[in-house]
Amino acid sequence: MPAPAPTRWSGAPFAAIAIVMVALASRFVTFGNPIVIIDDQFYHYVGSAMLDGQWPYIDIWDRKPIGLFVLFAGIAALGGGSVIAMQLAATLFAAATAFVVRHIALGFVGPRAALLAALAYLVMLPLFGGQSGQSPIFYNLLIASAAALLIGAARRPGDSSLTLRACAAMLLCGTALIIKQSSVVEGIFIGLAFLWLARRRTVPLARIALIAALMVAIALVPSAVALALYALRGDEALHAYWFANYFSIFLKQGHGLTARFAGIGFFLLYIFPLGIAAVAGAVLRHRAQPAGEPERLLLGWMIAALAGYLAIPNFFDHYALPLLPPLAVSAASVFALANGRLFFLGIAAFCLIQGSMVDLAGNRRERAKYERADAAIRQAAHGGCLFVANGPSRFYFTTPPCRSTRYIFPEHLTTHVESGAIGVDQQAELSKVLAARPEVIVMLDNSSSERTVKLDRLLYATLKRDYRSILHLPEDDRGGLMQSLRVWQRRDLAQHAD
């Protein structure tokens, strides 16, 4: 498929400006809202805590890899606890990934269609919870860059830098692995694809074996460094790291078939416009000419990203975010058609209709709710301890958590999917927290199907006996993380109330 000649408006400088502007425009409505999603507020808090000398898995427990928390520690070091600083950092990563998408697409289409592919990636992100600081927003850049090295190597059959490119790609994939474990599927594909290229270039099998060993070693360097750091702290720290990163995920329970089917329906609905364009792009490339190495590798990347998504038993919308870079690159072949801009406009219109990109009122409403609850918590705590049983962990930025437990991520101690998966008995740990008598407890006052009934009973029995409700944000039909949130203050602190 011949690439159209470059035009002034579609060159790299204009593309960079357009990508940054669309990245900002597609995420602007969330800026300043500290509770867009439940995950990145916790990552941000752990990153900030690391700057104070606290260690993930030892002082604060979670199963996310250490690289994610190191990344957020860097964001916290630059921007403090500022939610806008975190959101701007995520925006820069999203824009950089879009630029890599454009770079890869330029090997298949002209500059205009490649730019539209980059913009399609950006406008699709909000549909899958990618409007703030979810982990794929960061590691997509690493995987896409590794894919760019792979597909670039396929276009240079006489180049002697194949091994160097492969090692660089494996370092990127290894770094992605310590940000999110599920990136291993794409990393394995990229590694095997480099070996496939080497074999097609008649590299001797003995040398391919050496290259493979070198690639594996380089990919494991980031994980080995993290493991060594915890090993230096002693056996207990090493066990905490090992369990959280490599075992706990297999102990987590599923949400059930109903939730799985609902997730599949959500996925198919929202991926439909870009997915159709990506499949159509693959068909166009196949019809235009015999499939060469770059075309096969792009198709393999798409399949690997889909396999990574399917490998996770539970559905959350952001699990689909790694699919967007390869789909956007493939869709570029459709955008290159004479009426290709209409296809892009259709995708953009679909994303606008979904509403996340234009929901300024909803984000302002959530921010106002958060600020109201945060002020009530700070006043009620009198400098004491907070326990968020359910609700935004962002409250820990202004009120210290109850240090009777390292399990402070909401839901670890209260949901059935985490039963037996966090390394301690939920009921015993929750009882320990309640026995410490935190000054304030935050609870979502609703009947979530994910919460364990017996733990709910334990919580409410303690709340009704020892606490008083000082704030209730009732449920409405607008959604958000503050639905039916209730703030409870310990009864003996009532005489200190203003």
Question: Model confidence over 468-493: pLDDT tens digits?
Answer: 999 999 877 566 778 889 999 999 99
Task: Average the pLDDT over 243-268 and give the result.
Answer: 78
Looking at residue 257, its pLDDT comes to: 62
Q: Which residue has the higher pLDDT, 80 or 69?
A: 69
Q: Write out pLDDT tens, residues 420-445.
A: 899 999 999 999 999 999 999 999 88
CA 84 vs. chain centroid, Å, equals: 17
Average pLDDT taken over every residue of the chain: 91
Looking at residue 63, its pLDDT comes to: 94
Task: Average the pLDDT over 100-114 and give the result.
Answer: 96
* Joined tokens for residue 305: 């990203």
Rg over CA atoms, the chain: 24
Angle at CA 444, nearest 5°, toward 450 and 54? 85
Whether the Cβ atoms of residue 86 and residue 133 lie closer than 8 Å to each other? yes
| CB burial readout 174-212, b (16+ within 10 A) else e | bbbbbbbbbbbbbbebbbebbbbbbeeeebeeeebeebb
Q: Write out pLDDT tens, residues 392-404.
A: 999 999 998 888 8
pLDDT above 50 for 2: no
Looking at the chain, the whole-number percentage of residues with pLDDT higher than 90 is 78
pLDDT above 70 for 254: no
Exposed (0-12), middle (13-18) or buried (19+): which is 298, by Cβ within 10 Å?
buried
Residues in the chain: 498
Looking at residue 9, its pLDDT comes to: 52
Question: Any idea which of 237-251, 273-287, 412-426, 440-454 has the lowest mean pLDDT?
Answer: 440-454
Task: Average the pLDDT over 248-266 and give the result.
Answer: 73
Q: Sheet with 440-444: list strands edge to edge.
A: 386-388, 440-444, 485-490, 467-473
Q: Which residue has the higher pLDDT, 160 or 95?
A: 95
Nearest to 439, CA basis, from 398, 384, 377, 486: 384
Whether the Cβ atoms of residue 376 and residue 429 lie closer than 8 Å to each other? no
Nearest to 172, CA basis, from 97, 114, 227: 97
Whether the Cβ atoms of residue 174 and residue 221 lie closer than 8 Å to each other? yes
Query: CA-CA distances (angstroms) from residue 409 to 395, 422, 444, 478, 488?
Result: 11, 11, 14, 24, 18
Looking at residue 447, its pLDDT comes to: 64
Exposed (0-12), middle (13-18) or buried (19+): which is 157, by Cβ within 10 Å?
exposed
3 state SS of 444: strand
Q: For residues 149 and 287, what is the distance between their CA atoms, to the nearest angstrom?
A: 25
Nearest to 393, CA basis, from 39, 74, 68: 39
Task: Average the pLDDT over 347-361 and give the result.
Answer: 94
Q: Write out pLDDT tens, residues 181-219.
A: 999 999 999 999 999 999 999 899 999 999 999 999 999
Q: For residues 342 and 388, what is the distance between their CA atoms, to the nearest angstrom?
A: 47
Looking at residue 1, its pLDDT comes to: 47
pLDDT above 70 for 140: yes
